[in-house]
Amino acid sequence: MARLLITGATGLLGSNLIRQTAGSYEVIGWSRSCTAIPSGCAMDRVDLANAEITARCLDERRPDVIVHCAAMTDVERCEREPDVAHLMNVDATRILAQWCVQRGARFVFISTDSVFDGTCGHYSEDDLPAPVNEYARTKLAAEAAATGLLPDALILRTNFYGRNFKPKLSLAEWMLEKLARGERLPAFADVRFNPLLTDHLGRIILDLIAHGAKGVFHAAARDECSKYEFALLIAKVFGLQADEARPELVEDFGFKAQRPRNTTLAVGKLAHFLGRGMPSVEEGLQSFKQSLGIDYMDYLATLKGSGSKAPQALSAR
């Protein structure tokens, strides 16, 4: 059985991906913490900022495939601490890719829709990236580091949501909690995206690996919405009132880092390669609801952060 290493194993995508690999791979999870990891996964506590430790752990585990989900995604922190952002997002990627070159392993890098400037949207893989903040610049530089060493690397640009198994809320969970509690929910009406459920994204990643995919692919829903419209769709799917959802503008939040306004991705290349269409945003949310079970209020009761500020995902991606 092939050995699959997932970095960022306790993160939103990594933890969900692990749950989809049971029986298909011998799975190894890497994280700076060792919490919220499902059974059946070997777990290492690895700080990717430490090149020596990373290389030693790679030699010990010897994965056949690395899916690199870990990243510093806090946009404001990346803007304040560009050197740290470069270390975490670029240097760590280069170390992993270099090991893959030496050992003949495959490399999958999870990138972001934020590599585009957001002036027009519906970006294809052939469109020229133009990042507008340090987070996006480091992710684009990490893409270049990976493909410079590994021309056969698989790069996935995406924007995702889902159930977070860490004690903090993802964007969709935070919106769901606010709506369910009838609390004021600010959401950007001037930021457009086409987010993908982690369950769907995980299946796409595994299918691309199985089919030997390489190069850049855009993985997203087939349609788009603003973040405010996303909140309204959550209310619709979960049968909640959306009276407290409030359209807001990015410029009114006073962020240090500039935010792209429309990072919607074209998904024709991915759909053609896999031979199937991508789900719509609403279909993704329907699947999200099904994954929570019939009584989602029981799930809401398990969410952490009641009364907390908006999650990082609201401003970061």
At 163 the pLDDT is 87
Which helix (H) or strand (E) segment holds residue 145: the answer is helix 134-149
At 315 the pLDDT is 40
Q: How many CB atoms lie within 10 A of CB 223?
A: 14
At 170 the pLDDT is 85
Compute the distance between CA of residue 238 and CA of residue 271 in angstroms, rounded to an integer: 28
Closest by Cα among 113, 257, 233, 114 to 185: 233
Is residue 255 within 8 A of residue 76, CB to CB? The reply is: yes
Q: Where are the beta strands (DSSP E) in the chain?
A: 3-7, 26-31, 42-45, 65-68, 106-110, 154-158, 160-161, 185-188, 192-193, 196-197, 215-219, 225-226, 245-248
Closest by Cα among 212, 190, 116 to 158: 116
At 308 the pLDDT is 47
User: Chain centroid to CA 305: how far?
Assistant: 21
Domains of the chain, each with CATH number or no CATH: 3-161+195-219 (3.40.50.720)
Compute the distance between CA of residue 134 and CA of residue 305 in angstroms, rounded to an integer: 28
Return the exposure string of 115-139: e unless at least 16 CB atoms fall within 10 Å of the residue's CB, then b.
Answer: bbbbeebbbebeeebebbbbbbbbb
Ranges of residues in the chain with a pLDDT under 70 are: 34-40, 167, 294-317
Query: CA torsion sign, 159 to 161 to 164 to 169?
Result: positive
Angle subtended at Cα 79 by Cα 170 and Cα 112, rounded to the nearest 5 degrees: 50
Concatenate the DSSP letters of all residues of 152-187 into one string. Answer: T-EEEEE-EE----SSS--HHHHHHHHHHHT--EEE
At 37 the pLDDT is 59
pLDDT in tens, 104-114: 999 999 999 99
